[in-house]
Structure 1
Amino acid sequence: MRDVALAPAAVPPLTGGLADTVFWTAERSPTLPLLAHRADPAASTWQEVTAVELRDEVVDLAKGLIAAGISPGHRVALMARTRYEWTVFAHALWTVGAEVVPIHPTSSRDQVEWILRDAGCVAVVVEDEQGVMTVGTVCAALPRLKHVWQLDSDALARLAERGAVVPQTTVDSLRRIVLPDSTAVIAYTSGTSGRPLGCALSHRGLAHPCDVLLAGWRHTAAPPGEQPSVLAFLPFSHVYGLMIQQICLRGGILMGHEPEMSETALASALATFRPTYLYGVPSVFEKLYKTFLRTAQQSGRGALFERAAQTARDFAEAEERRRLGLGPGPGFELRVQHALYERTVYRRLRGALGGRAVRGTSGGSSLNRELSLFYEGIGLYIHDGYGLTETSGGITMQPLGREKSGTVGLPLPGTEVQVADDGEILVRGPSVFQGYISDEQRTRATLRGGWLATGDIGRLDAEGYLTITGRKKDVIVTSGGKSVAPAALEQRLRMHPLVHQAVVVGDDRPCVGALITLDPDFLAHWRTALALQGESAGREAREENALREELARAVASANSAVSRAESIRVYRVLQEPFAPDNGLLTPSMKLRRDAIARHYAAEIDAMYETRPRTVRRPGPEDPADWDEADNVFR
């Protein structure tokens, strides 16, 4: 067993609750812009809200909540997209000592009922009529639920009007009795393999990683002399989005709210809000890369982009070797090529992201090393972060000047990380959760002697950098006894422009297989480009053969990172993507592997049954007995 622990960070101890930040900032910097939002996705202008304006709105809403009977310890669910009102509501609830229960707005009726009942919510904030209808169908089974407030029906204004009679002293008194170890949020896990579990997160737990990151890295979030800005678009119902919210408010970083996650809306938001720091999940950065490539190909500059992308990766890798003391850095020829592409390609790519971003963070799952090197090479370093719902967010960070792509960096100061003998990552520190609210047995199993058993597997290198290799429960064991972590293979498959999603399978099978969905936008572009290259006669057969060849390249690229016994030998292309609507993704876009295996059981069986083998012999089958990867289409 190996562990890494850094010295505690020099951050002031928390003395109250998260809402105090709003009041402190309003006193010290009343005119500082803190939040921004726009009327609709097509709007080019953003309305900024200053610290004092935010405080006044929080106070007015807190009075309304008091008038409605919300008291310290009450749990109130917020079921809305990443809207400005979400942030205001959360801080008003914390002001009166209530606990926030985030629910993803696309959650199913059963999921909503489970969370509201399990948490014992007394009120729920929804976004629109659809939310009202969803909650309405389960109200009869929830005797504790007293209020349903709808944002699109002026819930904030109506509550503020109702609370006009509540004195300011009542608000101040309630805020002052909120302690750092009071529960602030009941955040539910993704529920990838069963019912979501409610994690009790304290005010201190949520604040600690934010304050440590601000103390050590805030100055990197914007050019010198500028106020940093972040575009928030990932859901606040996920701890990652909630952590970004608190980093912005506690650090005086301007946060823009973008509730719409479509490609068009995000492109518009990036171009008009122009953030200095980006954050997202790997699929966001993968999609951006594919959009860059598709746009270049459509303009006849695809070959130029691919050369520039390879130069960016080569340059970043040489820079990484230099800063880690492993090499001299980029050579003269590489520097000249990089400077040429900076003028002709890279600055245009950064311009498509607003033109002001200097760094970024990817979280939620592992970011491909080559993708990280690409972004660093074009002048926008995207580092891979690591955290869990049970750790209130971040656990690790890249040390400045010693960044290492492909890892998630070093443990945050004050946080300790161990890797157990079986590869499981264990964490100890002030951000670890208080426990699961209604499952003491699971809490005891997860918290072992003060250490949180994360369920993730990984490794620490000689310098203490942590690399995540997958989830312990996701490890596949083939019929030949080979253990395979699917995450790395899936990650490399998704790097091919045509591949949208990938799920590796193979438990109790003779070899590893994969289910693949295609990227609809890139597929349409690819088909158009292919149609221009030949006659219409026989186009369908030509397209299918070309697609087989492309996917064979994607599989071969993924297999190049693993041994032959771990490589993908069979695969099948599916017509339907994995999505929350069909129950194959969680609301936070994580794969529901068990559900996928059940849903596509017939296809998986057929994939293995129809694959011809080149060698037959008695005894256990060996993956080496199988031909090159199959390409079976559904």
Structure 2
Amino acid sequence: MALDTIPARFFARGQAHPDKPAYYVRRGGAWRPFTWREYNDQVRTAARAMIGLGLQPGQGVCILAYNRAEWAITAFAAMAAGGVPAGIYTTCSAGEVQYIVHHAEASLVVVEDRAQYEKLAAERDHLPGLRHIILMQGAPAIDDPLVLSWEQFLARAAAVPEAALTERLSGLREDDTSTYIYTSGTTGPPKAVMLSHKNILWTTDVLVRLIQNSPDDRLLSYLPLSHIAEQMLSMHGPACCGHTIYWAESLERVPDNLKEVQPTVFFGVPRIWEKFHAAVAARLSQVTGPKKKLFDWASDVARRYHALATRGRPVPLALQAQHKLARRLVFTRLKTALGLGSARACVSGAAPIAAHVLEFFTGLDVVVAEVYGQSEDCGPTSLNIPGATKFGSVGRPIPGLEVRLGEDGEILVRGPSVFKGYYKDPAATAEALQDGWLHSGDLGAFDPDGFLSITGRKKEIIITAGGKNIAPKNLEAALKESPLIEEAVVIGDRRKFLSALLAIDRAAAAKWLVGQGQPADEPLHENPALLAEIGKWVEKTGEQFARVEQVRKFKLLPRSLSADQGELTPTLKLKRKVIEKQWASLIEAMYEGAD
């Protein structure tokens, strides 16, 4: 019996459906399909080329690029040749790139363009093991003896027989490390999560069943492929069930690509859904008269319909008929304009999302299901699914996983998706894996129906000067429910009271000021009217919490928090230590003279 590995699944898909489109690339204003036969051939050629360049089994291959076909081809080829692919976020600095390439012991790095190449060039003296830098298709030539164009790279396959690749493939084992997923590093250098072929394939098979994926599905790949969630959707899912991937042209072009592709399954991080929410809400605020009455009726119907359907409860025939009419009169056109006209499954993950955003989309006839997990268990720990969805929760544990809470409320996970450990980091591995249980570092709670909610992050607990333990995420989520607040960072560790740094949504703030009959002049963060309005919201938000958990002071930041400034991870999680250092003067100003 053939061993079940990722390359085995990938090549089997090509043999079973050679003429079916595997992926699409937009060129010359049109989407060009590539079949599974072509995809298989591309990976085989790239794998042989890697062997020709001296790649040894178990050796790392780094990829530094935005989502595109060559990213997936490189990753599958590295696995097929016995190597271990490791994606690097394009937002990483030269120092961060050097750390990962060196840590992964990669002699071969595939880059998107000159800008990413320059990061390697800047750290060349600290990369003694680097032997080859491969440019993806379309990148201008670079005069460097280490650099190969994509065509020159593939040409190296000519000297390597198919038998050499067959031998590498036959040497793969289910428990071998298939990939390194480098964590975002919110508290220090990134750690390399080692996932086996078995880890990923078991998880993929479960997800395919839960989301009810089929070969007829199509997805737009646009979130970083360095993240396990996007790899599951854009690489391993297609290899296992055959759905088609459209590679987004760029992040800037995602809204246009989304409307062109109309994916059947769409995954977004909370910030994506929040941007959708802001754009649609702004458009709806301008609707008046009969059109507004029609929308309000349709929205009410959708909310009542999904309040039952998402919980698996019977929907009365009269409400079913109203829902069908609302779709025909309102929602089909509205969702198509967003690019979600064909979406049957919409998912949010990687960070918490406000419940009011999810409820807003329900009123648009779009059910966004929240998922929770981490790289260390291949992405999903729990998931809301059709007929078993509860807003404000991250769903029930996926079948086959054991999930329980430790004495301190920490979420513990055991099962086939749990990782092998951290590469070259036995101490961190021993801390994360204890008696077969993955210690997630997240705090949670189960409701009577078995739905899991995330209540905080264990290492981010604030301990005030009075000794009170406070989870900042709950406060931050509540503060961000204001359309004026883009990001919130609660401060207070070893302090006498809680304060907050607030990044404003500049477009929403400007619009609010104009609506108040005031000029939206810069600097917005110093505008007295805006400060007063946000102050009222902070005070109102505090009413939901105990006195010790209330934010007593806040400061508006002069700009948004960003990954480029090192304040957010590539998946938009807060880097609290960086933020506190970056804005130390503002923080101290809130505590000056405090009693």
**TM-score, normalization by structure 1:** 0.85
Structure 2 distance, partners of 1:200, 1:89, is: 18
Shift of 1:122: 1.4
For residue 235 of structure 1, what is the aligned residue in structure 2? 224
For residue 629 of structure 1, what is the aligned residue in structure 2? none
User: Which stretches in structure 2 are left out of the alignment for 5+ residues?
Assistant: 142-147
1:144 corresponds to 2:129: yes
Spell out, residue by residue over 1:458-486, the C-alpha distance to the aligned partner (whole angstroms, 9 max, x if none): 01122221111221111112223332212
Q: How does 1:236-275 map to 2 (within 5 A)?
A: 236-245=225-234, 246-258=236-248, 260-262=250-252, 265-275=253-263
AA in 2 matched with 1:35: Y
Residue pair 1:578, 1:584 contacting (<8 A) in 2 also: yes
**Aligned residues with identical type, % of pairs:** 30
> 27, 31, 35: which one pairs with 1:46?
31
Shift of 1:315: 5.0
Q: Give the aligned CA root-mean-square deviation in angstroms.
A: 3.2
Spell out, residue by residue over 1:5-50, the C-alpha distance to the aligned partner (whole angstroms, 9 max, x if none): xxxxxxxx992321222211111111111212213xxx65212211
Residue pair 2:63, 2:88 contacting (<8 A) in 1 also: yes
Structure 1 pair 568/212, CA: closer, same or farther in 2 (3 Å)?
same
Structure 1 distance, partners of 2:474, 2:13, is: 43
For residue 83 of structure 2, what is the aligned residue in structure 1? 98
Residue pair 1:187, 1:239 contacting (<8 A) in 2 also: yes
Shift of 1:310: 10
Structure 1 distance, partners of 2:106, 2:522, is: 58
For residue 287 of structure 1, what is the aligned residue in structure 2? 275
1:167 corresponds to 2:161: yes
For residue 9 of structure 2, what is the aligned residue in structure 1? 21
Shift of 1:269: 0.9
Q: How does 1:220-619 map to 2 (within 5 A)?
A: 227-245=216-234, 246-258=236-248, 260-262=250-252, 265-297=253-285, 299=286, 312=299, 316=303, 319-320=306-307, 324=311, 343-344=329-330, 347-530=333-516, 533=517, 544-556=527-539, 558-609=541-592
1:88 corresponds to 2:86: no
Spell out, residue by residue over 1:252-302, the C-alpha distance to the aligned partner (whole angstroms, 9 max, x if none): 11111125223xx121011111111110111110111001122334x4559
> 74, 93, 117: which one pairs with 1:108?
93
1:124 corresponds to 2:109: yes
Shift of 1:341: 8.6
> 56, 67, 82: which one pairs with 2:52?
67
Structure 1 pair 256/481, CA: closer, same or farther in 2 (3 Å)?
same
Structure 1 pair 341/257, CA: closer, same or farther in 2 (3 Å)?
closer
Shift of 1:60: 1.4
Structure 2 distance, partners of 1:234, 1:252, is: 20
For residue 617 of structure 1, what is the aligned residue in structure 2? none
Shift of 1:338: 10
Q: Secondary structure at the match of 1:361?
A: strand
For residue 195 of structure 2, what is the aligned residue in structure 1? 201
Structure 1 pair 538/235, CA: closer, same or farther in 2 (3 Å)?
closer
Structure 1 pair 313/428, CA: closer, same or farther in 2 (3 Å)?
farther
Q: Secondary structure at the match of 2:527?
A: helix
Shift of 1:552: 3.3
Structure 1 distance, partners of 2:402, 2:296, is: 37
Structure 1 pair 157/524, CA: closer, same or farther in 2 (3 Å)?
farther
User: Which stretches in structure 1 are left out of the alignment for 5+ residues?
Assistant: 1-12, 612-620, 622-634
Shift of 1:511: 2.5
Residue pair 1:492, 1:557 contacting (<8 A) in 2 also: no
Structure 1 distance, partners of 2:17, 2:317, is: 47
Higher relative contact order (CA 8 A, sep 6+): 1
Shift of 1:305: 7.2
> 18, 42, 56: which one pairs with 1:30?
18
Residue pair 1:584, 1:593 contacting (<8 A) in 2 also: yes
Residue pair 2:373, 2:382 contacting (<8 A) in 1 also: yes
Residue pair 1:320, 1:404 contacting (<8 A) in 2 also: no
AA in 1 matched with 2:155: E
Q: Secondary structure at the match of 2:443?
A: strand
Aligned length: 585
For residue 144 of structure 2, what is the aligned residue in structure 1? none
Structure 1 pair 203/470, CA: closer, same or farther in 2 (3 Å)?
same
Structure 1 pair 19/538, CA: closer, same or farther in 2 (3 Å)?
closer
Shift of 1:374: 2.2
Residue pair 1:408, 1:467 contacting (<8 A) in 2 also: yes
Residue pair 2:302, 2:365 contacting (<8 A) in 1 also: no
Residue pair 2:217, 2:265 contacting (<8 A) in 1 also: yes
Q: Secondary structure at the match of 1:191?
A: coil
**TM-score, normalization by structure 2:** 0.90
Q: Secondary structure at the match of 1:145?
A: coil
For residue 186 of structure 1, what is the aligned residue in structure 2? 180
Spell out, residue by residue over 1:308-364, the C-alpha distance to the aligned partner (whole angstroms, 9 max, x if none): 589848953674357648x98799899969966973467414432242112211110
Structure 1 pair 366/248, CA: closer, same or farther in 2 (3 Å)?
farther
Structure 1 pair 303/371, CA: closer, same or farther in 2 (3 Å)?
farther
Structure 1 pair 66/315, CA: closer, same or farther in 2 (3 Å)?
same
Structure 2 distance, partners of 1:537, 1:142, is: 50
AA in 2 matched with 1:59: R
Structure 1 distance, partners of 2:117, 2:259, is: 34
